[in-house]
Amino acid sequence: MKRIGIQERRARLAVRHHLGAAAAADPVEAVRGVAALHSTDPASVFLSVRARAAGATPDTIERALYDDRSLVRMLGMRRTMFVVPVELAPVIQAGCTQAIAVTQRKRYSQLLEAAAVGDGAFLKEVEDATAVALAGLGEATGAQLSAAEPRLRTQIEMAPGKSYGGKQNITTWVLFMLAADGRIVRGRPRGTWASSQWTWSPVETWFPAGLPELPAEAARAELVRAWLAAFGPGTVADLRWWTGWTASHVKRALADVDAVEVDLDGGTGVVLPGDDEPTPEPEPWVALLPALDPTPMGWSERSWYLGPHSAPLFDRSGNIGPTVWSDGRIVGGWAQRADGEIAYRLLEDVGAEKEAAVASMAGDLAQWIGPVRVTPRFRTPLERDLAS
């Protein structure tokens, strides 16, 4: 096996993820470089693109998302929200989302039956009626759809007798199922680019003929190909974690793309065929990446770029906060304060020149964000400390 060491992996990370001097030409190229952007926290999408695409602004990112529709927001790997290039959406739908939809439909149907409100057939009727209402409106919020289809306001008692229980409308369930089945899409939110108050559109707004259907096995192979192109080399464990698949699904997909084993300093990794040649060493660089950025969340084994900094930068569920990077490794964290200032803390000595570059970048980021306030959905110890 060929050896791919840590320095090579860090060089690949910079070049393929469009960090430092390897900036992407536009938001779509930036997203393709990392396969998919985490979108659980809407602001992360904008900040992740801003870190990678030369001259990107909130307006140009919104244009790609909602006007050009070259990017689309969807549920995907590990039941997580992502923003992906439109050509990858059918792959993720067939390789990940369809299986999630089956499981979630069963759960919702059981909850409806337990509450003596309805069953799976009732849920499907409300979904179909909601889809018809949305087609007539063209674009709508959940509240607007509830006015058009009153059954969306059907209430379910959740966790009866528990302190955290209470009544819940089925609006969210129905919209989740319609999106997971590839029938509707989250569109431009109400409010700023950091908002998650989505409007919804029929899927035909992005895909005029509907979301293309693919065989699940072929889709899994294509998704592995995209991951290896962006994150390879990685381990089988990395790939299982990122996709959320079973071991057998990962093994079959790796075989389908003819993945090649490489030596990761004593461990075994995989790359695409022919993708084991050295990467030219990139110029020195620094970057401020947001919470849940796809680069630090791309692998499950992170020691080669994270070092000893896990405790202050991750929450207890494994979600990473905002990070400071230098030449392919994490060296600190940052946060936005209430007055808009970007505060940062370096967790190791990077030298005066690099620290000056980080300080300059923090000032530029504060200006770019402007009046918007960014608080990560999953807060981490260092981020909380810096933001206070």
Residues of the chain with pLDDT under 70: 161
pLDDT digits (tens, 9 = 90+) for 74-88: 999 999 999 999 999
pLDDT value of position 333: 98
Return the closest-CA partner of residue 227 out of 169, 279, 295, 178.
Answer: 295
Q: Which of 96, 99, 126, 102 is nearest to 112 (CA)?
A: 126
Distance between CA atoms of 225 and 186, rounded to whole angstroms? Answer: 26
Residue 167: predicted pLDDT: 84
pTM metric for this prediction: 0.95
Q: What is the pLDDT of residues 126-183, one digit of tens each?
A: 999 999 999 999 999 999 999 999 999 999 987 776 777 788 899 999 999 999 999 9
Helix, strand, coil fractions of the chain, as percent rounded to 5: 45, 15, 35
Residue 50 near residue 197 (C-beta atoms within 8 A): no
DSSP 269: E
Instruction: Write phi, then psi, for 157 (nearest 5 degrees).
Output: -80, 115
How far is 25 from 38, CA to CA, in rounded Å? 20
